[in-house]
Structure 1
Amino acid sequence: MNDDRMEGNWKQFKGKVKEQWGRLTDDDLDVIAGQRDQLAGKIQERHGVARDEAERQIKDFETRNPDTRWR
């Protein structure tokens, strides 16, 4: 997938990510920019969960949002 499409896809799902993980700021989401590992780290940081829990939450999110594409 090219970077323009990835960026557009990320913007589309940015709102859904904020709904799921409400403590993430717009700045956090700009830094994450669709990178799955970055998202897991920010979930850990902002929500105080372990890495495996953050990964589980992301996997659940991906199941509910199958069109999500990560870098």
Structure 2
Amino acid sequence: MNWDRIEGSWKQFTGKARETWGNITDDEFTKIAGKRDQLIGMIQTRYGVAKEEAEAQVAKFEKALH
């Protein structure tokens, strides 16, 4: 799925995102507002992973939404 569609419909996808990244709070998901870079940064912060790993997780999430 195109990330622009995810960003535009972020509220629809936050449930799935919460399942995937449970350490991120509802308030943080609201602040992320579908911004891919902000999600990657938050994954790095909450899970202590490198940027490349966070990007890989987001890419996997994106593909799972197809």
TM-score (norm 1): 0.81
Q: Which amino acid aligns with 1:35?
A: K
Q: Which amino acid aligns with 2:29?
A: L
**Count of equivalent residues:** 61
Query: Percent identical across equivalent pairs?
Result: 52
Q: Report the Cα distance in structure 1 between the residues aligned to 2:17 and 2:48, rounded to whole angstroms.
A: 17
Unaligned runs of 5+ in 1: 67-71
Q: Does 1:38 align with 2:48?
A: no
Q: Which whole-Å deviations, capped at 9, do the CAs of 1:7-51 have from their partners, x for residues lacking one?
A: xx1000000000000100011101100000000000000011100
Q: Does 1:61 align with 2:51?
A: no
Q: Report the Cα distance in structure 2 between the residues aligned to 1:60 and 1:26, rounded to whole angstroms.
A: 21
Task: Compare CA radii of gyration and give the structure with the larger one.
Answer: 1
TM-score (norm 2): 0.86
Give the match for residue 24 of structure 2: 24
